Amino acid sequence: LNMLYRALQFGLLGGVVFTGYSMWETRHPPTQESFDPSKKTIVVLGSGWASTSFLKAVNTDDYNVVVVSPRNYFLFTPLLPSCTVGTIDVRSLVEPIRFITRHKSRDVKVYEAECTDIDPEKKLLTIVDSSDVKGESSVSTIPYDYLVIGVGAQNQTFGIKGVEQYGCFLKEVWDAQKIRTKLMDCIETAAFPGQSPEEIDRLLHMVVVGGGPTGIEYAAELHDFLVDDLTVWYPELAGKIKITLVEALPNVLPAFSKQLIEYTESTFKEQNITIHTKTMVKEVREKEIVVKKSDGTDASIPYGLLVWATGNTMRPMVRNLMNKLPESQTVRRGLSVDDWLRLQGSEDIFALGDATATKYAPTAQVASQQGKYLARVFAQLATTEKLEDELASAPAEEKAKKLRKYQKSQDIQPFKYSHQGSLCYVGSDKAIADVPFAQGNLSSGGVATFAFWRSAYVSNIFSGRNRWLVITDWTKKTLLGRDISRE
């Protein structure tokens, strides 16, 4: 018993020392090797799921690496809907990209800039500082040996009039902040003296367009905020707040199983969230949306806040690159790549994540697996190059052996996606999950699935620091409720 007690003491002490050292090491990274002109340079575009998981895994002993992204951080998108109502603080979901690059063995250059043009012939990029603060130099060109495109996609509007002007998207940190501010503004404006009952109803009507996972999770978070907090702080208005979700297809969440679609729709009904399916938004005006209903007639729906979540479309820079490679880039959804993520029509450009048009859904799961995979491809390319040099200088008697080794190194396995399942929060501490199980699929929904949803997301958060911040936010929300101040 005494020995067991001693072992426990040592184990505990070891754990404390290890955690303490890891925390210290995170804030005091060692000195890095400097840029090596004799090595090839990989330029990585973007700091999202695809590029960041590539960056984490790529071996900078083999390459110089440069990152170009208009935002200097990685954003953990799966929990972004929680930021629209203050369940989680946006700062808890972002990780500065320099926290990652500073821990690589070689110095990685980071440019907070947007890539506006790629010249695949000259292997040159045009980058522009698109931030508010600009110095004397705000446009530049940089060369690359290899280019990794992980610029994601932008919000799809289908060119519908008024969406950009009046709708709020939910993709970036500033989108969540804008939604939160506008929501509180609508409620406070509804409380202004002399407001007519019709105007109060309009201001308190929160409309979500798009019944994909983004729209569903936003509506769910808004419902929780209403029930947990707004009813307490706005007792005279909370009962008038209405949430409506508009979806063009016959049901929401088309990518989930039938059972989970029904579960979501019935949960929304219990939560008084109205779903209008087979209803297509045709136009967005300042205070109302015009929809085409299933019977073919048009109707107008007044709103105070409009959240637009109808999926992705490609970025102008991606379209521009595709126009330069018209013979190989023919799919209009995004960049075409081969099974090794190499851009069709180019030898030294790779693309991954939402910027590409592949057989996979545009999800973080796919993008992060592709990033890790591509880092392995680059490791193998580095090995091949070393072996090529060794082969060239090898004595005659070793040539055959070296050649076999070199040929073997060229055999790179294609990308294989491993689906870990789909999860979606549906409100009232309930979530749904479609998880591959044995040869089939396991569908589940409810409170236990919510616990699974939380633990799955927490364990997928990239850094220990962010994991800690998210858990703290959840605890704070449970103990103190959400903040209703306007940002």
Closer CB to ligand NAI, residue 26 or residue 312? 312
Site track 296-315 with ligand NAI (rule: CB under 6 A), x = hit: -------------xxxx---
Report the C-alpha gap between 74 and 51 in whole angstroms. 9
> Is 424 an interacting residue with respect to ligand NAI (CB under 6 A)?
yes
| Stretch binding ligand FAD (CB under 6 A), from 252-260, 356-364, 381-389, 410-418 | 356-364
Report the C-alpha gap between 281 and 293 in whole angstroms. 9
Q: Which residues, 363 to 382, sit near ligand NAI by CB under 6 A?
A: 363
Q: Which of 88, 97, 230, 246 binds ligand NAI (CB under 6 A)?
A: 246
Helices 464-480 and 447-460, axial angle in degrees (round to 10):
140
| Stretch binding ligand NAI (CB under 6 A), from 55-63, 92-100, 343-351, 360-368 | 360-368
- Rounded least distance, CB 268 to ligand FAD, Å: 18
Report the C-alpha gap between 360 and 370 in whole angstroms. 11
> Is 209 an interacting residue with respect to ligand NAI (CB under 6 A)?
yes
- Rounded least distance, CB 51 to ligand FAD, Å: 6
**Dihedral (C-alpha) 101, 104, 108, 114: value to the nearest 10 degrees?**
-30
The DSSP output letter for 226 is I
> Is 80 an interacting residue with respect to ligand FAD (CB under 6 A)?
yes
- Residue among 119, 111, 126, 118 at smallest CA distance from 70: 111
> Is 213 an interacting residue with respect to ligand NAI (CB under 6 A)?
yes
> Is 211 an interacting residue with respect to ligand FAD (CB under 6 A)?
no
Report the C-alpha gap between 395 and 456 in whole angstroms. 54
What residues have CB less than 8 Å from 341, skipping those under 6 apart? Answer: 350, 351, 352, 356, 370, 373, 374, 377, 415
Taking a C-beta distance cutoff of 8 angstroms, is the pair 152, 334 a contact?
Answer: no
| Stretch binding ligand NAI (CB under 6 A), from 336-344, 403-411, 417-425, 472-480 | 417-425
- Rounded least distance, CB 363 to ligand FAD, Å: 3
- Backbone conformation region of residue 190, classed left if phi is above 0, alpha if psi is from -120 to 50, else beta: alpha
Phi, psi of 422 (to 5 degrees): -115, 140
Q: How far is CA 456 from CA 372, 373, 450, 460, in A?
A: 19, 21, 10, 6
Taking a C-beta distance cutoff of 8 angstroms, is the pair 98, 72 a contact?
Answer: yes
- Rounded least distance, CB 257 to ligand NAI, Å: 14
- Rounded least distance, CB 365 to ligand NAI, Å: 8
Biggest alpha carbon–alpha carbon distance for the chain: 95
Closer CB to ligand FAD, residue 51 or residue 264? 51
Taking a C-beta distance cutoff of 8 angstroms, is the pair 294, 336 a contact?
Answer: no
Q: Taking CB within 5 to 8 Å according to partner kind, which of ligand NAI, ligand FAD, none is near residue 108?
A: none
- Helix count and strand count (H, E) for the chain: 15, 22
Number of residues that bind ligand NAI (CB under 6 A): 28
Closer CB to ligand NAI, residue 183 or residue 366? 366
> Is 115 an interacting residue with respect to ligand FAD (CB under 6 A)?
yes
Q: Which residues, 34 to 53, sit near ligand FAD by CB under 6 A?
A: 45-51
Q: Give the interface with ligand NAI as residue ranges (CB under 6 A).
A: 78, 158, 209-215, 217, 246-249, 254-255, 280-281, 309-312, 361-363, 422-424
Q: Give the interface with ligand FAD as residue ranges (CB under 6 A).
A: 45-51, 68-71, 77-78, 80-81, 114-115, 150-152, 170-171, 214, 315, 317, 353-355, 362-365, 367
